[in-house]
Structure 1
Amino acid sequence: MARLAQLKKTPRAAAKAEIFSVQGISKVYDMGEVKVPALESVDLNLYAGEFVVLLGASGSGKSTLLNILGGLDTPTSGRVLFRDKDISQMSEDELTEFRRHHIGFVFQFYNLIPSLTAEENIALVTDIVSDPMPPAEAMRLVNLADRLGHFPAQLSGGEQQRVAIARAIAKKPDVLLCDEPTGALDFKTGRVVLEAIDTVNESLGTTTVIITHNAAIADMADRVIELRDGRLVSDRRNKRRKKVAELSW
């Protein structure tokens, strides 16, 4: 745990410091007699406060890269540095601590516990960190302040996803990783969820990475990174970040 004790949070107002340095990572899944390459020689730097969209078709390596950044998976080769600490060499216990204190996850499916209210679902996270955001404040940021006492079954799909976002940000993570957060939602509801994620990035300065196959979402990002067949094929910055209402889907 000594290495993790050195991982200090960067003040939100600080300059755009490097937060991740991905150095030549490859990932190969061993399926018995068959080896399946998922990533190949990916180099990438991510900076504090950025809003990044990872684009690519199914099977391009987006989710694998996201899982490696979040400490849910490790590369077969190469290194991943989080503020100069090599998370690709951490033990399982160290990775657990890394995820707990530095990473928030939002997935396509909400993973809320049905028997708990929205507030109680968020408290599952806030109870395990030292300086959490109050659940009510997290719910206010995603525009659901009046739904604290509601159970998941009393919420729409979009509202459940916003509770999942509130849960992810309530521990004040440095990085918010979103895997197809609108994939299970209709167009109108997806827009509301994207607006919530955008608000979190702008209000808290949380480095935000969304993976999607929907190229229209790319216009709301500071930066757009495209993967194809496990390789990084483009990395560009938008001249201007569009608001969600401006996106053409």
Structure 2
Amino acid sequence: MATTAQPVAAREAVFVARALCKTYRMGEVDVAALRDVNLMLHEREFVVLLGPSGSGKSTLLNILGGLDVATSGALHYRDHDLVAADDAALTLYRRQHVGFVFQFYNLLPSLTAYENVALIAEIAHDPMPPAEALARVGLEARSGHFPSQMSGGEQQRVAIARAIAKRPDVLLCDEPTGALDAATGVRVLDVLETVNRELGTTTLVITHNADIARMAHRSLHMADGRIARELVNSERVPALALSW
């Protein structure tokens, strides 16, 4: 059953980007990955970012997450200037405020699920106990298992538990269901939806799957390095009701 979307525009902006550009030098050629992107993301918002390969989605996510820096324009996370920040400031920003989930799980194979999560909790300022993080993704019974003993969906849920263990303000997800079958992907999206709702984590999900946009407050469609279109959902479809 669809749920009426809560208004988010009145909430405090977490990210504000103005005329954001990113250009890469490829030999003697400049390649524009982002072109004058204007963007606001708000507290507790769930946003889906769509677009073909090469449209700038991952570049934008990496810049929002402090993994890369814009060539020009302005980008603020609350009172943090992410364009002017040096490497040390960006490292601190990532550590304190951002959780990442990628298409491939990047778990350490020699560590159990619990130990993979605990590794991140050890460097966080106010960490969630690893057991609680695993319980939030429904894997408390698998905490002693190694990645090789878990399915792809379970490994991705461990990756989400690892990301939320430091209680991030922002969760940035790059194709989190890209390596999963449809049924498993829906379960992973349900976990992300629950984290957004229960922890209030501002969540941005990159996907090629347009159907996933139905569960978001907003979807942003990128093309040629720009945000070409924005759609606001008056009603949101729960992740478990999605099918593709």
Say yes or no: TM over 0.5. yes
* Candidates 156, 164, 167, aligned match of 1:161: 156
Mapped pair 1:202 → 2:194: no
SS of residue matched to 1:59: coil
SS at the partner of 1:121?
A: helix
CA drift of 1:87 comes to 1.2
Letter in 2 for 1:159: E
Q: Whole-Å Cα distance in 2 between the matches of residues 103 and 86 of structure 1?
A: 15
Shift of residue 54, structure 1, vs aligned partner: 0.4
**Secondary structure in 2 matching 1:132:** coil
Deviations 1:113-165 (A, max 9, x none): 00000111011110001210001111111111101111101100000000000
Q: Pick from 73, 81, 100 the counterpart of residue 68 of structure 2.
A: 73
5 Å matches for 1:17-166? 17-166=12-161
Q: Distance in 1 between matches of 2:126 and 2:191?
A: 22
Query: How much has 1:234 moved relative to structure 2?
Result: 1.0
2:220 corresponds to 1:219: no
Paired residues of 2:182 and 2:243 also in contact (CA < 8 A): no
Task: Report the count of equivalent residues.
Answer: 235
Q: What SS is found at the alignment partner of 1:89? A: coil
TM norm structure 2: 0.95
Residue 182 of structure 1 and its aligned partner are, at CA, apart by 0.3
Deviation at 1:49, TM superposition (A): 0.3
Q: AA paired with 1:37?
A: A
8 Å Cα contact 2:113-2:145 kept in structure 1: yes
Q: Give, in angstroms, the shift of residue 246 of structure 1.
A: 2.1
> Aligned-pair distance for 1:248?
3.6
Moved over 2 A (4+): none
Where 1:188 maps in the other structure, the secondary structure is helix
Letter in 1 for 2:151: S
- Post-superposition Cα deviations, 1:64-87, rounded to whole Å, max 9, x if no partner, equal 000000000011110110113211
Instruction: Give, as a single letter, the amino acid of the residue that structure 2 aligns with 1:120.
Output: E
RMSD: 0.9
**Unpaired segments ≥5 residues, structure 2:** 1-9
- Read off the aligned partner of 1:69 and give its amino acid letter: L
CA distance in 2, matches of 1:237, 1:209: 14
Secondary structure, counterpart of 2:188 in structure 1:
helix
Q: Normalising by structure 1, what TM-score?
A: 0.93
Shift of 1:16: 2.1
Q: Gapped runs of 5+ residues in structure 1? A: 1-14
Matches within 5 A, 1:231-242: 231-242=226-237
Q: C-alpha separation between the residues in 1 aligned to 2:240 and 2:162?
A: 25
